[in-house]
Amino acid sequence: MTLVLFIAVLVLAFGRVMKASKSVQVAVLVILFGAVFAIQIGLPEQSELRQATGGSVQSWVILIVLLGVISLYTFVIKGLKSKAHTATAPQQDGPFSARELDRYARHIVLREIGGAGQQRLKSARVLVVGAGGLGSPLMLYLGAAGVGTIGVVDDDTVSLSNLQRQVLHSEERVGMAKVFSAQLALSKLNPFVTVLPYRRRLSGENARDLLEGVDLVLDGSDNFATRYLVNETCVALGLPLIAGAISQWEGQLSLYHPQEGGPCYACVFPTAPAEGLAPSCAEAGVMGALPGVVGSMMAVEAIKFITKAGEPLLGNMLIYDSLYGENRKMRTERRPDCPVCSVGGRRRKA
């Protein structure tokens, strides 16, 4: 039995490396276990091959029943989590209250936003990756603008060294999970906004579940592994992505949306920089007000995109140099050989 299970593990590992679909991996396992059952039923009990593959049909039946129970339990739990996720994000539909009209009056009188645009903001569901330097001003302005549902993903806690730039948090909340600190701050800022805190690190196992169902993703993470994962998941789900980054005195942001003709993040940054070429804020430092500027710019782009106002940064990257007070705008384009979003790319949405 051990030998057969070892072969099954090898099949799954090889399928993962070769990026085979789940249906292909399941088909191979069905063939493998079908052969084992044929051996157990067809060969005499004393056969060495039968002994090497378990010795009896009963042991395999017990194992398969046990695996079936575990699979059913996992399926039920996943379904309950999905229902809970939906239940915690109430629909932000319906007319504005008198307090909301007063709160959003300066938006509503803007010709490019108006009542229709403000209603789009109220109905919008966005996900912010990272509740740190960029996520702090970004969420403050999204919340103030009336974006109806704001999800935030972060596994870190508030520390004293964050407070030089992460204006969403406070000294009283040092040690608190950043997502809960964000929820507390935004609930005080605007009670008409729903904040969904996800205290976890974004990973290949949970990225799709967290991003599925949102209208826009905003990436303020501080490492390239997360940025590439967010981008791949957005491309797979057909979601628009606004990504920003900061270092020392300079920041950048852009809108990535291949389905609308723009590039994805991997088109512009095909590979992560070598070790030491892009040090973190903890290593290289960052001017405290810089993430406030770039995070606010990301909020501006999000509000424009949701309300369909103006021209979004699709196919353009805005670079801000705070040390010399300069803005630069660079044209970006899709790469025909991009492994993430090109027609022949392995991860392109079907």
CA separation for the pair 192, 257 (Å, rounded):
29
User: Domain extents for the chain?
Assistant: 2-86, 92-331
The pLDDT tens digits along the chain (350 residues) read: 666 666 767 766 776 666 566 666 677 777 777 777 677 677 776 677 667 766 666 676 776 777 777 777 776 666 655 554 444 444 456 789 999 999 999 999 999 999 999 999 999 999 999 999 999 999 999 999 999 999 999 999 999 999 999 999 999 999 999 999 999 999 999 999 999 999 999 999 999 999 999 999 999 998 999 999 999 999 999 999 999 999 999 999 999 999 999 999 999 999 988 776 677 777 788 999 999 999 999 999 999 999 999 999 999 999 999 999 999 999 999 999 999 998 654 444 43
Q: Which CATH fold would you assign to the domain 92-331?
A: Rossmann fold (3.40.50)
Token representation of residue 207: 């990225």
The residues, any chain, with a CB within 8 Å of residue 200's CB and separated by 6 or more, are 153, 155, 206
Token representation of residue 172: 């009283």
Token representation of residue 288: 């405290």
Percent of the chain's residues with pLDDT above 90: 66
| 216-219 sheet: strands from edge to edge | 194-198, 149-153, 125-129, 216-219, 241-247, 250-256, 316-321, 326-331
Cβ neighbours, 10 Å, residue 176: 15
pLDDT digits (tens, 9 = 90+) for 127-180: 999 999 999 999 999 999 999 999 999 999 999 999 999 999 999 999 999 999
Residue type, 336: P
The residues, any chain, with a CB within 8 Å of residue 307's CB and separated by 6 or more, are 112, 113, 117, 118, 120, 121
C-alpha distances (whole Å) from 308 to each of 114, 164, 235, 238 are: 11, 34, 21, 18
Token representation of residue 171: 């000294």
